[in-house]
């Protein structure tokens, strides 16, 4: 099992990524773009069915709140990534 995992993790990723067999976002900007597109569709659908909308806030306000939350998460992830890189460099240079 260990040898199989080692072998799998040693394979180049590029052919798998370009094959189209494993869809996904390339980076955080792609995630944000996809989220914005989905939010716009949700706003359009909610606006079209406005009579059925039961929340006290508008669909646009809900989407804005989700977008703000996504920006915060992206900021946290970028900060954590920077911190992890600094820790790794410190540990690597200390040895």
Ordered by start, the domain boundaries in the chain are 27-94
Q: What are the 10-residue block averages of pLDDT along the chain, 95 residues in total?
A: 86 85 78 85 86 87 85 78 77 68
Residue-level pLDDT at 95? 57
DSSP-derived secondary structure for 31-69: HHHHHHHHHHHHHHHHHHTGGG--SSS-HHHHHHHHHHH
Q: Tell whether pTM > 0.75.
A: no
Residue-level pLDDT at 36? 85
**d(Cα 65, Cα 78) in Å, to the nearest integer?**
20
């Amino acid at each position: 099992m260990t040898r199989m995992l080692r072998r799998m993790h040693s394979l180049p990723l590029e052919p798998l990524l370009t094959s189209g067999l494993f869809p996904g976002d390339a980076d955080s900007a792609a995630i944000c773009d996809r989220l914005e597109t989905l939010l716009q569709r949700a706003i359009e659908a909610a606006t079209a069915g406005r009579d059925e909308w039961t929340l006290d806030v508008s669909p646009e306000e809900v989407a804005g709140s989700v977008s703000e939350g996504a920006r915060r998460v992206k900021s946290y992830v970028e900060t954590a990534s920077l911190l992890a890189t600094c820790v790794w460099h410190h540990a690597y240079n200390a040895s």
